[in-house]
Amino acid sequence: MPKHYCDYCDVYLTHDSAAVRKAHNSGRNHLQNVRDYYASLGHDKAQNIIDEITRAYE
């Protein structure tokens, strides 16, 4: 079973299951890493990335 890699935290999750990914993504360290990443991009670039992700789900 392939491992899931988190770009924000620079870690591989040992068990690639929905429950493990959900627990990781709601964790304090992960959320802080996501905030730091988007804060470092600047408002305009961050909004462009968010818009691209949103379009993928429409």
**pTM of this prediction?**
0.69
The reported pLDDT for the residue numbered 1 is 61
Q: How many structural domains does the chain have?
A: 1
**Whole-angstrom distance, CA of residue 24 vs CA of residue 3:** 13
Domain containing residue 12: 4-56
For residues 5-23, one letter each, b for 16 or more C-beta atoms within 10 angstroms of the residue's C-beta and e for the rest, the string is ebebbeeebeeeeeeeeee
The more confidently predicted of residues 33 and 57 is 33
Q: Tell me the pLDDT tens digit for each residue of 8-55.
A: 999 999 888 999 999 999 999 999 999 999 888 888 888 898 899 999
> Please, which residues have CB within 8 angstroms of residue 56's CB and are 6 or more apart in sequence?
none
What is residue 2's three-state secondary structure? coil
**Whole-angstrom distance, CA of residue 42 vs CA of residue 27:** 24
